[in-house]
Amino acid sequence: MDPTNTAGEFFHRVVDCQWACPAHTDVPEYIRLIALGRFDDAYLLNRESNVFPAILGRVCDRPCEPACRRGRVEEKPVAICRLKRVAADNCGDVSARLPKAPQAKNGKRVALIGAGCASLTVANDLAPLGYECVIFEALEEPGGLMRSNIPAFRLPGEVLDEEIANIIDIGVELRLSSPVASLRALLAERFDAVFVGSGAPKAKDLKLPGRDASDRIHLGIDWLGSIAFGHTESIGERVLIIGVGNTAMDCCRSSLRLGAKDVKVIARKPRSFFKASDWELEDAEEERVEIVVNHSPKEFVIEAGKLVFISGQLPRAGVRRHLQSTRGRARCTARHLTGPDARLRRLRHLHREQETGPGGRHSDADREDEGPREGEVPRPGHRPVRIPQEGDWQPEQVLLARRHVLQLVEQEG
């Protein structure tokens, strides 16, 4: 057998995790260095391909781990991301081994707009080559979205400050509270090149009826930024997050730390379609965040200027089954559709129904709890239907339920 051709980027043939990493970090080598206790060397090896090892060791989306071959023989892959953090947290003072700017500059000046990860990486690469790099940042602190949109309980400020300082200390000029209003004026300062690394910090809004009628409806990244800079210090007890991406997971976990007691996340699709990483979902659920699937928001219900409810739409197959099982009892249907005690159980049942098909039968083991519940009426061919009791629902839910029933009756003819 011919030996492996190690010329150039050979790792895509034999090292799946390194090939899956966008930066192609030498994963096997830095894990070997960690095993030998050489944390300084492991950190610096990481830094050759990405300049923020301590940050990525905490917040990286880990594309390397699904590609890890250990996952083929074990339940989980090697904890590559967390090992990166191990190297960063245990390394000593490596400032003497970091790149430095040469005493003789090459005479070229580069302006970098924004002090986020993009501009900092460019400065890290250009400054040691003799370029004079000047970073313009509109905010009072550098870091960009790393500081404003990643909660401090995931990425502590001191870790971010230390990683940024490693770049600034190379010899990079940082101008804070210096927004760039005109590129023409910037070029007039005799810069040879301009790098625009301002990012795209604009959240996707949800334009539904009632969206602009309350000041308690926020966009995810804007709200996280208000927390990071101290503008938001508390929140109400009941919080609802629409969407199941990583930003949504940061929002729900941040809400709990600001005093919320009942935090729910609603998703339009089943769990297999969630955009959030598996470990983000696990962390949120460990903190008792309730994730409601197959529920699409349709309207923000505002009463007296206060957000009291968000109406939604259930999957049509599930709604049709509910109508069939409660035909002739509209009042029971209304409560059954919106009763808070039954809502999570109902939506989980609808998720199973999508897998088995409408009308699919389930065994008694599928029930969420054991034993008969008060008010249950068993009927042939159907799972027991719980008749809600007084106190199960709130006035705003009655309005919503009535609206649902009228719509469903019209749809079904």
Domains in the chain, CATH or no CATH each: 11-95 (1.10.1060.10), 109-196 (3.50.50.60), 218-293 (3.50.50.60), 311-360+384-413 (no CATH)
What would the two tokens of residue 330 be?
Answer: 């509209």
- Rounded Cα distance between 102 and 304, Å, is 65
Q: Which helix (H) or strand (E) holds 303?
A: strand 296-303
pLDDT averages per 10-residue partition of the chain, 413 residues:
60 80 92 96 94 95 91 90 95 93 92 96 96 95 93 94 95 95 90 92 84 86 92 90 92 94 90 89 92 86 77 53 38 33 44 45 40 43 41 46 54 56
- Rounded Cα distance between 352 and 355, Å, is 5
3-state DSSP: the chain helix, strand, coil percent, rounded to 5? 45, 10, 45
Query: Which pLDDT value is given to residue 7?
Result: 62
Query: Which pLDDT value is given to residue 327?
Result: 37
Q: Can you list the alpha helix ranges (DSSP code H) found in 278-393?
A: 278-286, 316-325, 330-338, 340-356
Query: Which pLDDT value is given to residue 2?
Result: 65
> 17, 64 in Cβ contact below 8 A?
yes
Enter the pTM of the model. Answer: 0.71
Query: Which pLDDT value is given to residue 206?
Result: 85
Number of Cβ atoms within 10 Å of the Cβ of 169: 14
Query: Which pLDDT value is given to residue 55?
Result: 96
Query: Which pLDDT value is given to residue 5?
Result: 59
What would the two tokens of residue 300 be?
Answer: 């923000």
Query: Which pLDDT value is given to residue 344?
Result: 43
Question: Which three-class secondary structure string do you get for 236-289?
Answer: CCEEEEECCCHHHHHHHHHHHHCCCCEEEEECCCCHHHCCCCHHHHHHHHHCCC
> 219, 143 in Cβ contact below 8 A?
no
- Rounded Cα distance between 309 and 213, Å, is 13
User: Coil, strand or helix: which one is 127?
Assistant: helix
Number of Cβ atoms within 10 Å of the Cβ of 318: 18
Q: How many residues does the chain have?
A: 413
What would the two tokens of residue 212 be?
Answer: 């602009």
The residue among 218, 278, 216, 217 whose CA lies nearest residue 245 is: 278
User: How many contiguous H segments (helices) and E segments (strands) does the chain have?
Assistant: 18, 11
